[in-house]
Structure 1
Amino acid sequence: MQNNPKIYVMLRFKLILFAISAVFFAGAQADIVPIKPGTMIPESNTQLKSVDGKTTTLKESMGKNGLIVIFSATTCPFVIGGESFAGWEKDYNSLYESAQKTGVNLVLINSNEAKREGGESFEDMTQQAKKGEYKMAYLLDKDSKVANAFNAKATPHVFYFDKTGKLIYEGLIDNSWDIKRKKEETYLLNAIENASAGKKIDPQQTPAKGCSIKRK
């Protein structure tokens, strides 16, 4: 069967619209303001099911020097990669290892409650964790309860808490998504290294970029 130019054009158009909607999620969630540095970790005792079949809480997940929470997804191109951006999932394990070296744990949370039947189910999470050989826990946030408490906006969206449970960094992993960037900014890695060395984290907040969290 010969290629149909009209179908090809339509597919390209749909892909462009999807990319645009993923990038400009903030307009639809402009009223969501993430918790600020200095805030104590919310919902720290909420039971969360991990893809390994166990249940845990954010309090139990804390390392001796802190905890990094990354809200993630199984279908978002900013996580898994796409035509114009390789995605941040590829960096998860190296960030986990860097955090572990400083006594900080890192976990992923999936809060896409409205897409459980659209590629974001617990089974999809489990398969993704196996495929990506995740070294960290991948947790299911039922009814987006934890995401709502954090006022998390995007996938991925980073929240880094120190050993007392206080938020010390919130926002982006790095600026690799920005094709107009003038230099590389490894925000999360810098925060990990500076916190470990007792240095000031600057910036403490960056505007998260990615796909909107699909709440019901």
Structure 2
Amino acid sequence: MKPIKSVILLLLVVIASSFTKDSFSYEDGYKVGDYASDFSLKNIDGKMVSLADFNDAKGYLVIFTCNTCPYAKAYEDRIIALDKKYKTKGVPVVAINPNNPKVQPGDSFEKMIKRAEKKGFTFPYLLDEGQKVYPQYGATRTPHVFLLEKTTKGNKVRYIGAIDDNYQDAEAVETKYVEDAIEAMLDGKEIKINSTKAIGCSIKV
């Protein structure tokens, strides 16, 4: 009977652990070629924002970022520049703060408003309240980029990863992963590098 009891106990542990947050595998998020679900999240102006709100978009640059991570801060000016360059071409930036403000108070909604005003964000800055969106995407870091192409079948994931190859110095960047991916997507060409490792702070849960 002991072996049977052990098996039953093991099954109960597995079932129970499947309901805990720690059991989630972020490798189960979107891969290049998948179709990403839309979302509805609160923007810093208090309004709810969805990808569907951008009627004329050809795609979207969904970037998981935050107020407090040094890597995210280092990329803020580059994210603003990406939005200014590609929003007029139909690929706007949609930034999402995935951090739990109870764990990271500096990433509270109120602090998001202040940060956006200080930096002059030109794009929506949304709070992933309840942390429901970033696990779907498979985001693990801030910043973590997902380039989506708007198609008749849905929003197709075309690139995942880092913005470029040098978070420390924008002037020393050799490969602009996101810009190269957007240009290729808009030209209908193959994206040569469609996945890179996101470099940044872990998402605070």
Using the size of structure 1 for normalisation, the TM-score is: 0.76
Counterpart for residue 191 of structure 1: 181
Count of residues paired in the alignment = 178
Counterpart for residue 49 of structure 1: 42
- What amino acid is the match of 1:123? E
Would you identify which runs of 4 or more consecutive aligned residues in structure 1 move more than 2 Å? Answer: 28-32, 58-64, 114-117
Q: How does 1:1-216 map to 2 (within 5 A)?
A: 31-33=25-27, 34-42=29-37, 44=38, 46-61=39-54, 63-80=56-73, 87-115=74-102, 118-164=105-151, 165-177=155-167, 184-215=174-205
Using the size of structure 2 for normalisation, the TM-score is: 0.80
Q: Tell me the CA shift for residue 58 of structure 1.
A: 2.7
Q: Secondary structure at the match of 2:130?
A: helix
Percent identity over the alignment?
37
Q: Unpaired segments of 5 or more residues in structure 1?
A: 1-27, 81-86
State the distance in 1 between where 2:191 and 2:55 align: 20
State the distance in 2 between where 1:78 and 1:193 align: 24
Q: Tell me the CA shift for residue 61 of structure 1.
A: 4.0
**Structure ID, larger Rg:** 2
| 1:156-204 deviation digits (Å, cap 9, x = unpaired) | 000010012100000000011378xx96110001111111112111111
CA RMSD, Structure 1 to Structure 2 (Å): 2.3
Q: Secondary structure at the match of 2:112?
A: helix
Q: Unpaired segments of 5 or more residues in structure 2?
A: 1-21
